[in-house]
Amino acid sequence: MSIRIVLADDHAIVRYGLSKSIQQEEGMEVVGQARNGLGAIDLVKELSPDVVVMDISMPDINGMDATREIVRDFPEVKIVALSMHSAKRFVREMFKAGASGYLLKDCEFDELAMAIRTVMTGRSYLSPEITDVVVDEYVQGPAEEKDSVFTALTKRERQVLQLLAEGQTTKQVGMKLNISPKTVEAHRLRIMGKIDIDNIAQLTKYAIQEGLTSAEP
């Protein structure tokens, strides 16, 4: 039986290339594609795939939050992160979210195929290019305080931060999250207080640094 795979990436050309390569790989098939984390969650509910190949920086719902939700509700589904981010905080947060594998986007397809087969056996896979990141994490001990500020944000605060950073208005964010503009504004003020910034431009820059969005400030 083929390994059923969902692809989640906000770049159509990336999804197309991955899909073409996977379809040529014996024992694998792409059953769905999503342009953001919300779409990935919906496809997992609808299609019950074996594996989701997940980007991190995507609009509306990023890959980290999507991974948390999928692993919580569908623990049998394996998540393989495929990202341009090699910094240790991204690797750490994706594995904390429940991912089973992490690769960089400049990897060869054969490595991605190997990672997919590896996680299907119940083991984890980490790209050799970022193994040093994990080793350093153990050698150096706990991450610096500046790396831990983001984890202090609640799920709702991360959602509000991402949508505001993507250029959506307070009203639009409220409609998307089904909360009032007043509540959105309260979240914004709490976020800015927690991460010690005082304007939207800095908020956007911070969201990009944390991999929540690829939007330009």
Percent of the chain with pLDDT over 70: 89
What is the tens place of the pLDDT at every residue in 57-111?
898 889 999 999 999 999 999 999 999 888 888 888 899 999 999 999 999 999 9
Residue 27 has pLDDT above 90, yes or no: yes
> DSSP 3-state helix, strand, coil percentages of the chain (rounded to 5)?
55, 15, 30
CATH for 3-140 is 3.40.50.2300
> What pLDDT was estimated at residue 133?
61
Per-residue pLDDT at 164 exceeds 80: yes
Q: Where in the chain is the domain with CATH 3.40.50.2300?
A: 3-140
| Least confident stretch, 19-28, 103-112, 146-155, 184-193 | 146-155
Does domain 149-209 match CATH 1.10.10.10? yes
Task: Let me know how long the chain is.
Answer: 217
Cite the residue boundaries of each domain of the chain with CATH code 1.10.10.10.
149-209
Token pair, residue 197, equals 């910034």
CA distance 105 to 136: 21
- Neighbouring CB atoms inside 10 A of 128's CB total 10
Cα distances (angstroms) measured from residue 165 to each of 25, 76, 87, 110: 38, 33, 21, 35
| Biggest alpha carbon–alpha carbon distance for the chain | 54
Say which residues have a Cβ less than 8 Å from residue 18's Cβ, sequence separation at least 6: 7, 9, 30, 53, 82, 109, 112
Q: How confident is the model at residue 145 (pLDDT cuts 50, 70, 90)?
A: very low
Q: Which pTM value belongs to this model?
A: 0.73
